[in-house]
Structures are given as structure tokens and as C-alpha cells.
Amino acid sequence: MKVVFFGTPDFAVPTLKKLLQHPAIEVSAVVTQPDKRRGRGNQLSASPVKSVAMQHNIPVWQPQRIKKDAEVLAQLQKLSVDVFVVVAYGQILSQEILDIPRRGCINVHGSILPKYRGAAPIQWCLYHGEAETGITTMLMDAGMDTGAMLLKAYTPIQLLDNAQDLAQRLAEIGADLLIETLFKWERQEIQPILQDDSQATYAPLIKKHDYLLDWSKSAIALHNQVRGFFPNCVTHFRDESLKIIATVPLGAAYWSLLPEFSFLEHTLSSLSTPAVTGEVVSIAKGIGPIIQTGEGLLLLQQVQLAGKRPQSGWDFANGSRLTVGEKLRSYASTGS
């Protein structure tokens, strides 16, 4: 089976590696996003997918806008491959491109479609507190993740999973599901299922205001925001920006899910004075500060001060000489 692989970030790498390892599959070429400048040195850096392709001496094409690149389109047509495999490529494919391969274009999408169509399905499913997610393979059409579905695989979401954890797990699941999909599709053992558009939800690109924490929200809503938009959520601390990287919601609803934190139940039961939102109500020894939210308490497990490296909540509390009664202030969400 001859395929061309379209993909860019780390999420796409396990699928590419599985294709390269399979004796019955030939990866004829890889299409990925152009190199970008990254890091303090502002050096041009290859995408993770390009790096893997180069290690295996696979031809790599990096069009700025694939729909407008006549040379790349001509090369794709000359290859005469069976399938285009697309995993988090980052550009929309035109109908002209979708029509090139003999057996169509198959996409590996990081949600259970039709829920969470769009660019950031993993982040938004965490933000909305989903208990389960998965991978859908689908035949691509000209819409945004609207094609007919082929196979699905599911995975539960644990309370402390963040977007990075979940993406790594889903990337491995997606790699296996894609291989299964390719051969079942070739043998005509899959009947494509049209998506029910009435059940569709969307996962748009994350914007700057999505990172801003509002302490009047509930502890679980804040926790889901922090882990969904990991590691970029921010609050105000002493007139400076403070990233909140990892949190733990505390209370009766969570002790059974988080037995390693259940010893804090005694600490919380001793709190008697009502606190205002954003206030430090306690500092758990060896762990970190506990913050009053609009509903419930939130433990800060890992944070990052502006210009500093990430640190545990406990090191932050000690290093900043944090005291009970201090407040973290919400950013005003302007929608910008």
C-alpha cells in the first residue's frame, strides 16, 4: 500500500512511525508545515514529522499554502498512491487534492466525532470536563472534520490528565487505529458512517483570553481550564503574572478519585472563616497553597512565576513567603 503522509506536530509522529515500520506499507512522501523559528536563538526548526521523515530518507515537501502550490500538486499526482493519511497537518486540503489518491484521504482526528470538530479537540474536551474521549478515523471531505466516519477507539479521561498527557495517549491510540483502518478499508470491510451534524460540537483555536483565570468560577471549572489549556493559564500574584500549570480540586466529590490527597480532608475541615474568591486559605505542607474559588477549593500543585522556571506549589509558597489571606487576582477577560 502506497501512502503520502500529511502531518506536522508531535501528535502525528506515532502514526508516521507505525506506517514506516509496517512491511506492507510504503510511505512515498511526507507533506508538513514549513520550518518555523523557535526558541531564544530564533533558529529555524523542523517540525517533529519532518525530523522523522529525514531520518528515514523520505522525500519531504513543505508548501506555504498547499492549495496554491502547483509544483507540489503536480508531484502528488505523479506519485499515483493509494491513500493520503492526514494527522494534524495544519492546512485545509482542497477538493482537488482530496481527489488524487485512489482510495481517498483518511484523517486521524483526536475526538469522538461529531463532537469536537476543529483545531483543538483535546484541549476543549478537557475544558468541558468530559469523562471519555478517543480517536475517529474518517474519510476527508472539503468541510472541517465533517467526513464520513470509519473506525473509533475510546479512552477514559482521568481527573488529573492534562492536554499533554491525553495527547500522548491519543497519539498512540490513533497510530494503531489508522493501521487497522487502512487495511480494513482496502479490504472493503468498513462501511463509512455519515456524521449527524445536529450532534456536532466545535473545538476552535485557543485564543489568549482563554488562558485567563477567573477565581469566581468553581474549582472544577478552573481545574479543567488549567489542564485543558496546559501549561499557559495565568493569574495575577502581587501585580505580576503567575502561570498555573497543575491543580487539584479538593473536596468530598474527589477524595475517592484522588486517594493520595485524601489526607488533606482534615486540613479542610478545620477551616472555619469564609474566604473570598482567590484567597489563600491554607498552605499544605510539602504540596502547595489551597485557594478559595467561587465554589470549592483548589490546590496549586505547580506554578511558574514570570521569568522563572516551573516549580512546585510548595517551593513557590516558600520562595515567595506566601501567607494565608493573600489573594490571587483574576485577569479581566476582555475577549481579546
Burial zone of 313 (CB within 10 Å; 0-12 exposed, 13-18 middle, 19+ buried): buried
What are the start-end ranges of the E strands in 54-112?
Answer: 60-61, 83-87, 105-109
Q: How far apart are CA 291 and CA 65, in angstroms?
A: 47
Binding-site annotation: residue ranges for (6S)-5,6,7,8-tetrahydrofolate: 111-114
* H or E element that contains 247: strand 240-250
Of the candidates 164, 151, 153, 163, which has an alpha carbon nearest to the alpha carbon of residue 193?
A: 151
- Which residues, 6+ apart, have CB-to-CB distance to 205 below 8 Å? 118, 119, 120
Q: How many CB atoms lie within 10 A of CB 44?
A: 10
* H or E element that contains 304: strand 297-305
3-state SS assignment for residue 159: coil
Burial zone of 193 (CB within 10 Å; 0-12 exposed, 13-18 middle, 19+ buried): middle
Residues found in the chain: 336
Q: Are 138 and 148 in contact (CB under 8 A)?
A: yes
Q: Are 82 and 186 in contact (CB under 8 A)?
A: yes
Binding-site annotation: residue ranges: 111-114
Burial zone of 89 (CB within 10 Å; 0-12 exposed, 13-18 middle, 19+ buried): buried
